[in-house]
Amino acid sequence: MPLSAPRLVRSTGRLFLALAAVAALVAVFLALVVLTDGAGSGLAAWSTTVGAGTVLVTWRGRRRPRPARLAPFLPVVVAAALTATVCVPTVPTARRYPPALPFVATQHWSLATGSRVAVYHYPPAGPGVRHPVPLVYLNGGPVRGISVLDHRFLRLLARRGHDVYAYEQAGGGRSDLLPMGQYTISRSVRDLAAFVDRLGRGRVDVLGFSSGGVVLTRALADPGTAARLHRAVIAEPGPMDGPTARITGHKGRESARDLAPAVTGPRSTHVPRYAVAFGLMRLGLLTPDTGLVGQAEGDNAFTAADLGSDTASAYCARDAHRIPAEDTARNFSFSPAASLRIQQTVRDSPAIAPRLRRSRIPAMLMIAECSSQVRQWATAVLAGDPAVRRTQYMPGVGHHMWNGLDDNDDRAAAVVTAFLQDEPAPLPNHPTRDEIPAFLRDHE
């Protein structure tokens, strides 16, 4: 028999109140997670929320008949079940490192700083000239494994005669984790100096890409580290210090962000535990060393698909429907918490421009046409470092300039090799320091 209108209204009202109660308890749980910084994998917030909900329902139903006392507990049970999913790990909580790559040996070097890093060596190959100065590659991330796409580019540089060394910065890829408080941009610079010392080949050339370019820029501003460098190639750098990080401005030509097909594959952000943890960390409501999700567990959970449009933003709009697979699922590694921690130390750091102006190490800046980086991050390096001898504006590429498409890898390798060998530049020197105002004004 259909419900009468009054009974339907009462039933709808009860349902609405029950849903509101569930939502309120979930909101209380999330607030407590923030207040407790996720203590005990979120169990402190969960037990407090469930306990408070149970006490409140018991107190409100103390004068009702027994059957009527049980119904109000249903929202508490539902909320307890929903919030419990945030407290239960779904991946191992001990770090799972990527397996060895089939095309290059993985060495592990213990540095004087205490970092133990994964190292890859590509000796010079091919019939051409062998370059005597070793070339060290600093990948982006900040705390991320070196992608298969980058490994291919390093092999190309080796075929051009470079003796290439690369290491995954502490906490990234196959390198050992650090205590969360030790991830700082200053530690990254000290690790670079310690790596060069451990290499024992004298001064080295360094190619720093993206956040690796930030490490290299700050190394140039540190006299002790700069003394270990021969030449520096800064490719698509992020902000070099706090004042630069606070600059707002335009980016390069249109990227493939929001144009490329959605990235497929599993996402940690589809799991309530990691969606909450990574989301609150990104908002700054949880610290990188939160008790909700440990560093190792977060690294294990994070997938390439979680980067989503960030990957697409590294390519030009014209390449939106042919973005290459940058990495394999087995090799991919990214530490969201450690990366946020290092980025925060950059934002909190004072200006390095006064020290950078004293740099004398020959440097080159590489800027992509469709860069997703704020242009002023790169031009601040150009304006602040008097030893930047040339700038190479790379047409037809996005932030990830060596990407396996067309002849992009060869063009990037030619630019790098020409500078390191002090040969004529393949591209015009643009923008120069004097051209910075026009370069920014014209939104190049």
Q: What is the pLDDT of residues 315-336, one digit of tens each?
A: 999 999 999 999 999 999 999 9
Q: Are 178 and 184 in contact (CB under 8 A)?
A: no
CA atoms within 13 A on the CB side of 218: 28
Q: What span, in angstroms and rounded, lies between the C-alpha atoms of 18 and 85?
A: 20
Cα-Cα-Cα-Cα dihedral sign, residues 244, 251, 209, 229: negative
Compute the 3-state secondary structure of the chain and give helix, strand, coil in percent, each to the nearest 5.
Answer: 45, 15, 40
Q: Give the closest residue to 374 by CA, choosing from 290, 313, 312.
A: 313
Q: Which fold has domain 107-267+305-441?
A: Rossmann fold (3.40.50)
Contacts of 59 (CB under 8 A, 6+ apart): none
Q: pTM value?
A: 0.92
- 3-class DSSP state of 302: coil
DSSP state, residue 152: H
Q: Where are the beta strands (DSSP E) in 38-124?
A: 107-110, 116-122
Both structure tokens of 37: 């910084």
Q: Is the peptide bond before 431 cis (omega within 30 degrees of 0)?
A: yes
Q: How far apart are CA 285 and CA 280, in angstroms?
A: 5
User: What is the per-residue pLDDT for 379?
Assistant: 96
- One-letter amino acid for residue 96 of the chain: R
Q: What pLDDT shows up at residue 63?
A: 59
Name 167's bridge partners: 119
pLDDT at 1: 44
pLDDT at 16: 74
Q: Where are the domains of the chain?
A: 1-88+270-302, 107-267+305-441
Look up residue 179 and give its two tokens: 């205590």
Distances (CA, A) of 269 to 43, 263, 364, 437: 20, 13, 38, 41
Return per-residue pLDDT of the chain as tens, 444 residues.
455 666 655 556 566 777 888 899 999 999 999 999 999 999 999 999 989 888 887 776 655 666 655 567 788 888 889 999 999 999 999 999 999 999 999 999 999 999 999 999 999 997 777 899 999 999 999 999 999 999 999 999 999 999 999 999 999 999 999 999 999 999 999 999 999 999 999 999 999 999 999 999 999 999 999 999 999 999 999 999 999 999 988 899 999 998 999 888 889 989 999 999 999 999 999 999 999 999 999 999 999 999 877 899 999 999 999 999 999 999 999 999 999 999 999 999 999 999 999 999 999 999 999 999 999 999 999 999 999 999 999 999 999 999 999 999 999 999 999 999 999 999 999 999 999 999 999 888
* Separation between Cα atoms, residue 33 and residue 17, nearest integer Å: 24
Pick from 359, 350, 360, 435: which is nearest to 391 by CA? Answer: 435
Rounded Cα–Cα distance for residues 231 and 226 (Å): 10
CA dihedral 71, 74, 76, 81 (to 10 degrees): 160
